[in-house]
Structure 1
């Protein structure tokens, strides 16, 4: 008896739907692509309950005849290509002919379409892949597709859908992408009868960005427009200093197709080196145009990822183009004072050899007296003072477990003599066994990390109610994530409430967080939630991650300790559980023993030679 059999068309379509249709947003993506390929100049997207119950896509494109409408339900039926060689000349969004039969196989599907020259349209109703009826209908030229009861025929797939807010956010995100890619097409997006945005055809990309993301989003954007060897890069990128905590606003399009490209993504990040802080990401709406034969768009079932024929040349061109735009922006901003700054820098270099952040000068007499026998830095802890907050204020000693003898190196036994500063943030100490370089920033991060961690562990995080709530605008996906995790963030001292579509008001923040950093800090936490790094399933991991994040933000906003604060800094550092490293594992200090110094200066051999003489 034969074990191998041919799957039915219905089962084959449902399997294909598993690759193409991941969630309701996938349906919107595929059908909007079909509308664009049909030459539509107006597209309307409507959905309800996150798209799982109802989706409607209507356009004014070329429409289809009755025969073409029936053929569109067959797998791999397409008008975009005829042979394999056509894959090297693709200029359309879709081409594989899988979208409509895949969607129809896992939903109740209504297709209504009419060509401009036809007097009536065609209506097809399909339920879970089965044709219910085919008849004439009245409608304007174009195509209207309505989808109900998504995944009712495969209920297991429904269990993997997220909340209504999350699924709605993904639909909004995909619609925005195609609205950005085609500013010449008017778009309307309707959620449960409420119009989220309705934008007319726009002459420029900047106008479309303003229509969709608001006027504030365009204030820090600069234009890119470069051509080279058949490649053209255009669009808008963030000005130097303008960044985000995640890659979510790095939007890249290749031949007007929204894609995920590591080549272009890394080129964008590399170009901003030195223009934005480390760990931050640029804002970009970048469009790359190139010959279709030089890019493969058929490497992913949902056509999200692409592959370039010559990755190196594309990457190099992108880096050069972005760097040129950034350089021109910097020159325009700095031009009037650039000459005077250069003169001043040369003058400073000639008359000063002291570090920029060095504290007060120490005379040779004082320095000699200090090395000869002045009292070293005292490490007696100051008296503890009570605090009304869950986390002590900056400069207050931390209450923590006593440091065991093994945690404190013997070479630090009250014998450190502060000498001065090196490289701005390195405190230099003379000890009985050598010299020590202390990274003041790393020490502060270790202290603050354990302060916040102790507060989280004791569930004693105190939040301060803001006199004036801080407004926060997020993209649809981030907005849904924040709405779903408000209770989780509240346990860590952050209270935010909805204030309109994709708008929130930050009403309370932890006592250690400056009010001016509240908006950025909450946005960063939302990005952590989106990436899955923060969740309500692992309390210890959450506390560790948030404590690390908090320590970096607090320390970056505080000045370097002064000379008189060094004793307190050392006291607090060596009261922590691990004074040897900061929260990220980098050393807080390094010691160069006397033996190493002698070896470097060849003191041992010289002294022995003198003894022989």
Structure 2
């Protein structure tokens, strides 16, 4: 007898079901997506024991016709496809006809359903994928699915289920994704008899975020809305004050489908580098709408991944859009002594501009209107280059001539005004975006330094807004130095140093193919290389990075990251720029003079992002007069 044999049908079905149904959360996801596809407006999800013993999904959707119930639980039976070409125009969440068949193969199921045109509904029991009984009953329009005893016929799979709490938490995570992606629906979640979540039908995504994730999330989000002829992007991203230790709060939807896409997530995270602390992750709820023919949704058993025809265009548009909104909305963290005295979530959101399909290109050409001088990096020895506007109330502790300083400030301000008014490119700058770029520094423009504490923190006052600010001298100088080095490096033309002895690098077959596909990028970045035998290359020339030749290490870094749109060797040297700026910056405990403080604040205002150091720590924090007076019981 031969070794190869054909498996029996039930074994085949159970193996196939295991690809789709991993745990109770998988069942909840599939059934709720069916409800959404059936145009349900109200959905109730009930579970017991983490969903292992009982799951019930009730909706008021279209229902299933009585005659279709008998075939709805057979494999590959679906109402959403007629032929293979329909896959390329899919807008529904489900389409392969595997969910009901898979669930019914590994559990005991009941269905209660009625369509709007029927006088009565049908109540059926299903086991092992077959309808074992069916009755005509009275019921409202819609469908109720009941799933009991998951994996009762697969005891080995049942052993691998986690505790009731863990499985219930996974269901909670799935429901959170479904709710945020369908905020216009009413979804109720009942866990072991207790209502955990109940959202109303709402046109406002922010309100849903507030309900599901809480006030702290909603208070620190930036709304984005972009549209061109190819793609629409809208939703919310976190500002520089909101982040988490993992990617658990990154919600992404393609045409309403919740997906995971590491390339998009990493490209977004790259835009937060130096804005949030290292090893922390941004939060976002992004809805991406694109023509269904531009994506392939049929590449993963649970449909959590999609493939883009033009991946570079999609990722490039998303990251450019996020960068514009993010940089225009950084803010100073607030010290609040009374946490209950916070404004409503909506009122805390920054006022943002809306981008159209031409604004991104315009925004990328905007140059800083503030004249950036190199004063602070030259040891603070040229006080005549300072610019502090009208903030002249600084109390000098040494014998500097204040009157001469004031006259110098006035001259500098006048020269800046003349420079700006004569700028031949000023008419080409998008006014709406320019306003936002100016308001980034508004909080820092009108502050008066009044002292320092612990030889580390500068104290400044804003009388108009009745606030005081604490500036970390080391973090602030780090930011200034970081942007200086970054600008120098990005604008530096590539210098190639030829090697006396070529460096031979062995590659795997896949690495070699990747190199050959992207050879022009390596040449552009300053590498002089050629093939050297099978899966080997010879480096004959390498780029100079900060005055030092960088060969094997930089080459392999770029090769490893080429899939994530490496456009320059700077993309891989952020950490080095951070290190250089850190080592050359003023340290905590260093005593600096009054003129150095003024220079530090002036250069900090000129930074594109003055609010965090390169490591993501705040440079400035603020406290309101209102909070101080509450502590002294002046107000209640």
Q: Kindly provide the CA deviation profile for residues 129-164 of structure 1, in whole angstroms up to 9, marking residues without a partner as x.
A: 343211212211000000010000001001111111
Deviation at 1:242, TM superposition (A): 2.2
Question: Are positions 1:352 and 2:380 aligned together?
Answer: yes
Q: Distance in 2 between matches of 1:201 and 1:333?
A: 26
1:280-429 correspondence to structure 2 within 5 Å: 280-330=280-330, 348=376, 352=380
Indicate the residue corresponding to 2:170 in structure 1.
170
C-alpha distance in structure 2 between counterparts of 1:136 and 1:353, whole Å: 91
Aligned partner of residue 329 in structure 2, secondary structure: helix
Q: Which residue of 1 aligns with 2:539?
A: none
Structure 2 counterpart of 1:26: 26
Give the corresponding residue for 1:132: 132
Stretches of structure 1 that go unaligned for 5 or more consecutive residues are 355-420, 426-554, 565-613
* Counterparts of 1:21 and 1:170, CA distance in 2: 13
Whole-angstrom distance in 1 between the partners of 2:180 and 2:66:
33
- Assess if the C-alpha contact under 8 Å between 1:187 and 1:199 holds in 2: yes
8 Å Cα contact 2:217-2:242 kept in structure 1: no
Note the 1:82-101 alignment, pairs <5 A: 82-101=82-101
**Deviation per CA, 1:172-219, whole angstroms, max 9, x where unpaired?**
111111111111110000001100011101111101111111222200
Q: Is the 8 A contact 2:59 2:143 kept in 1?
A: yes
TM-score normalised by L of structure 1: 0.56
Q: Is the 8 A contact 1:10 1:129 kept in 2?
A: no
**RMSD between superposed Cα atoms in Å:** 3.3
CA distance in structure 2 between the partners assigned to 1:36 and 1:91 by the alignment:
12
Q: Supply the distance in 2 between the matched residues of 1:229 and 1:424 (Cα, whole angstroms).
A: 43
Superposition deviation, residue 2 in structure 1: 7.1
Matched, 1:245 2:245: yes
Matched, 1:233 2:233: yes
CA–CA distance in 1 between the matches of 2:75 and 2:190? Answer: 30
SS in 1 for 2:253: strand
Displacement of 1:8 after TM fit?
4.2
Provide the C-alpha distance between the structure 1 equivalents of 2:590 and 2:274, rounded to a whole number of angstroms. Answer: 30
For CA contacts below 8 A with separation 6 or more, give which structure has more relative contact order: 2
Alpha-carbon offset, residue 305 of structure 1: 1.4
Q: Which residue of 2 aligns with 1:72?
A: 72
Contact 1:245 1:280 in 2 (8 A): yes
Residue deviations 1:361-412, cap 9 Å, x none? xxxxxxxxxxxxxxxxxxxxxxxxxxxxxxxxxxxxxxxxxxxxxxxxxxxx
Whether the aligned pair in 2 keeps the contact of 1:48 and 1:55 (CA below 8 Å) is: yes
CA contact 2:63–2:114 (8 Å) conserved in 1: yes
The DSSP-based 3-state class of the residue aligned with 1:222 is strand
CA distance in 2, matches of 1:237, 1:24: 30
- Structure number with bigger Rg: 1
Question: What CA distance in whole angstroms lies between the structure 2 residues aligned with 1:313 and 1:59?
Answer: 38
Unaligned runs of 5+ in 2: 332-349, 353-366, 383-473, 479-581, 592-636
Contact 1:108 1:148 in 2 (8 A): yes
Go from structure 1 to structure 2 and tell me whether the alpha carbon gap of 1:160 and 1:284 turns closer, same or farther (over 3 Å shift): same
Change (3 A) 1:242 1:341: farther
Provide the TM-score with structure 2 as the length reference: 0.54
How much does 1:333 deviate? 9.6
CA contact (8 A) 1:236 1:286 kept: yes
CA 1:229–1:129: 2 relative to 1, 3 Å: same
Counterparts of 1:138 and 1:5 in 2: how far apart (Å)? 48
Contact map agreement 1:185 1:200 (CA 8 A) in 2? yes
Distance in 2 between residues matched to 1:325 and 1:118, nearest whole Å: 51
Do the aligned residues in 1 keep the contact of 2:70 with 2:131 (CA within 8 Å)?
no
Q: Distance in 2 between matches of 1:112 and 1:166?
A: 29
Q: Which residue of 2 aligns with 1:42?
A: 42
- Report the Cα offset of residue 310 of structure 1: 1.1
Number of residue equivalences: 366
Distance 1:228 1:4, change over 3 A: same
1:340-370 Cα shifts (integer Å, max 9, x gaps): 995796664677169xxxxxxxxxxxxxxxx
